Structure 1
Amino acid sequence: MDLLTPAAALALADRHWRIHGDICALPSYADQNFRIRAEHGDYVLKVAHPSWSRMDLDLENQAMMTLAGREPALQWPRVQLAVDGEHLLTLPMAGQACQVRMLSYVPGTTYAEAIVGLPLTRRAALHESLGSAVGRLTRGLQGFHHPAADRAHNWNLLRLPTLRGEIAHIEDAGLRAIVQPHVEAFCAHLPQWRADLPITVLHNDANDLNVIVADGDGGGKRVSAVIDFGDMCTSFRLADLAIACTYAMQHEADPVACARTIVRGYLAQCPLLRAELEQLHAFILARLCHSVLMATRAHRDEPDNPFILVSQQGVRALLRELAGVGHDAIVGPFLEPSHD
């Protein structure tokens, strides 16, 4: 896709949304994103790579609009309607049709940035606010449906069985010995869990770069938003909590205590079935294994890219630690009949 210049992007924003101001390009893997500092607020113009389908982006927009209406306590990216009333435009660019939309800019820092240097005495409050935010996310998407959510997404835990062939390619024998039994056990339980555990449309990527943190009371930090809805899919309701725990725990010397606090914040907003809570540990391990297997496949495709395995250090360290932790270590205090 030919790059859109900031000047051309600003002209597009003015023409279709009547938004103008100072503009700068934002980093993006394949899409083109521009931040516009306008008189009445900041916005992000998003020009999707032509490989994105309109339905996939419609899913994201519809989810954000639903959450903005149902859970206004958090600062979800607000979808801006164009002058013709549409929330997603298909525009020709360099001979290709591209999907273009405008969102509000969400201020704050990423969780990954905010947790660095945060005193231990203030971390529990941040962990609880993370759980609360993800609980609101789950609650806000209850009953939400969209045909694109049923797509076969690589990061959907329901698709973990498709990655089993990568286990043999894990070069670290010790790590391979941990991953294999957990993946095999998860895959074996999938048919029963499909029958017993709630399945819904979920965000599927509340990682430490997609969780936004703002300043709280007394110098503390709190989660104010969850962004980037590009990995949405239909899967187990439990997965969003497991994913949030998976990434936050990597920043902590006591990951179990961290996850326990996240769970407390989550349950205050969105109670789960006892059957779901009982499987949280298995789902966290499954997400970690899923990450290892995805990275293993990516490394085979790009063996000269050192970043792939460097970025796995936290994942692999946490997986090794949690493999030796009791199944109910995190959720034990919450396994009460009141959660059914």
Structure 2
Amino acid sequence: MINNAAARVLGAELETGAIAVPPDQAERIALDHYGLTGKVEWLWGEKDSNYRLTLEDGTGYLLKILNPAEDPNVTSMHSKALLHVEAMDPGIPVQRIIRTKEGAADFRFVADDGGERGVRMVTFVPGMAQRTASHSPLQREKIGVLLGRMQKALKSFSHEAASHRITWDMTHAMGMRDLLPAFTDARERARLEKAINDFEAEIVPVIGALPAQVIHNDFNMENILVDPDRPDDVTGIIDFGDMVFAPNLFDVGVAAAYQIGAEAEPVEAMCDLIRGYRSQCTLSDAEIDLVYTAAVMRLVMRLAIPQWRAKLFPEDAERFTIRSASVWEQLARLDAIPKSQAIDRLRAADR
């Protein structure tokens, strides 16, 4: 049973499951709105209906049919942000918008089930997910460089929907407390509660004073693509779906949390990313001291949100929680290092 408090934590985009559009309708959309004929292959998504469209000549595109609960203004923001990054720093390897026959970056349509949904088509970028590739300090540093470049490109971007509420925005991380009843193990709940308390004591009081802008907010190992033959080279940054106006610190904390991966030295892995990031952007002493707490909070969110959604959509429970065991392991490796020592090492990165 999910309580009412927990139901208020998740945004509408995660309270609504990924409702698939039939393949034949997706192919009609591609033809009618983009003039493209091809075959589609469904790709699982957390909240959207995604298809790979392959033309006869082998060219591939991503046709993204968005969650019915997504606000049209948010869809517009994601599309315009992709165009903005391309204009400000064409060297950042992001997906390129494919415009409709009318020249629109996205559009709305009514699905066969009667629901109105947004649609966007983008190019496929080459590469394999960082998660499935080999990892190295140089790779992590290059990812930090791209995170910094992305922030610089988005610094001048604004949109009326930028401050919309989304579940993965760390600004609202205190809501994670309401999801803890989804965990039956008392020790797990206690560990997550401690992390939430630390965030509340250290970051919540200063959120309003932290430098902020529109951030990507999801530099994870699935959204970072690398060259299969030269995995130190990053070939793509994808998925702008969790963008939000929030402290720059949160962008760094999110990215640092994911770079822990399976590394035996989790703090050093975070330092690799910080070195690359600080070659492009400045982190104040106050911000660098909070990276650790922000990264831990992202781990908490990666555990609590999927656990909650698994209760909400039991048919997809395994998909939602497939990474949970590895996240608990990452948290345990961080816990084995004194927090003060970890912060000192992050503070010293690239100095």
Asked if the contact 1:129/1:265 (under 8 Å) is kept, the reply is: yes
Equivalent in the alignment of 1:331: 346
Q: 5 Å matches for 1:21-170?
A: 21=38, 23-38=40-55, 39=57, 41-94=59-112, 95-115=114-134, 123-167=136-180, 170=183
- Is 1:240 the counterpart of 2:259 in the alignment? no
Q: Deviations over 1:200-242 (max 9, x none)?
A: 21111111111111257xx443222211111112222111121
Give the 5 Å matches for 1:224-303. Answer: 224-301=235-312
- Cα pair 1:4 1:32 within 8 Å, conserved: no
Contact kept, 8 Å, 2:226 with 2:232, in 1: the verdict is: yes
Q: Give the match for residue 186 of structure 1.
A: 199
Contact 1:30 1:49 in 2 (8 A): yes
Question: Structure 1 residues 71, 185: closer, same or farther in 2, change over 3 A?
Answer: same
2:4 maps to which residue? Answer: none
1:23, 1:34 within 8 Å by CA — same for their partners in 2?
A: yes
Kindly provide the CA deviation profile for residues 94-144 of structure 1, in whole angstroms up to 9, marking residues without a partner as x. Answer: 2333222211111110111113xx5xxxx1121111111211221111132
**Residue 148 of structure 1: SS of its match in structure 2?**
coil
- Closer/same/farther in 2, CA of residues 130 and 335 from structure 1, 3 Å limit: closer
TM-score by length of structure 1 reads 0.86
2:5 aligns with none
**Structure 1 residues 223 and 335: CA distance shift in structure 2, 3 A:** closer
Q: Is the 8 A contact 2:43 2:49 kept in 1?
A: yes
Partner of 2:12: none
Aligned CA distance change for structure 1 residues 30 and 324 (closer, same or farther; 3 Å): closer
CA drift at 1:284: 0.8
1:35 deviates by: 2.3
Task: State the one-letter code of the partner of 1:333.
Answer: A
Cα–Cα, structure 1 residues 191 and 12, in superposed 2: closer, same or farther, change >3 Å? closer
Distance 1:80 1:309 in 2: 33
Aligned counterparts of 2:139 and 2:153: Cα–Cα separation in 1: 21
Over 3 Å counting, the alpha-carbon distance change for 1:299 and 1:125 in structure 2 is: same
Alignment: residue pair count: 327
Checking the alignment, whether the CA contact within 8 Å between 1:212 and 1:225 is kept in structure 2 is yes
Q: 1:96 to 1:178 in 2, by over 3 A?
A: closer
1:205 aligns with 218
Q: CA–CA distance in 2 between the matches of 1:186 and 1:321?
A: 19
Given candidates 304, 314, 321, the residue that maps to 2:333 is: 321
1:322 counterpart SS class: helix
Moved more, 221-230 or 21-30: 21-30
> How far, CA to CA, are the matches of 1:83 and 1:136 in structure 2?
32
CA contact (8 A) 1:133 1:225 kept: no
Say if 1:72 and 1:3 are closer, same or farther in 2 by CA, change over 3 A. same
C-alpha RMSD of matched pairs (Å): 2.5
Cα deviation for residue 64 of structure 1 reads 0.8
In 2, Cα distance between equivalents of 1:307 and 1:172: 21
Q: 1:81 to 1:307 in 2, by over 3 A?
A: closer
More deviation in 322-331 or 243-252?
Answer: 322-331
1:34 partner amino acid:
Y
The runs of 5 or more residues in structure 1 that have no matched partner are none
* In structure 2, distance between residues paired with 1:324 and 1:88: 47
Determine if the alignment matches structure 1 residue 172 to structure 2 residue 185. Answer: yes
Distance 1:295 1:32, change over 3 A: closer
Q: Give the Å deviation of 1:37.
A: 3.5
Deviations 1:10-34 (A, max 9, x none): 3432332233345433333453333
Between the aligned residues of both structures, percent identity stands at: 24
Question: Structure 1 residues 102 and 184 mapped into 2: Cα distance closer, same or farther (>3 Å)?
Answer: same
Q: Which residue pairs with 2:10 in the alignment?
A: none
Once the two structures are TM-superposed, the CA of residue 57 in structure 1 deviates from its matched residue by 0.9
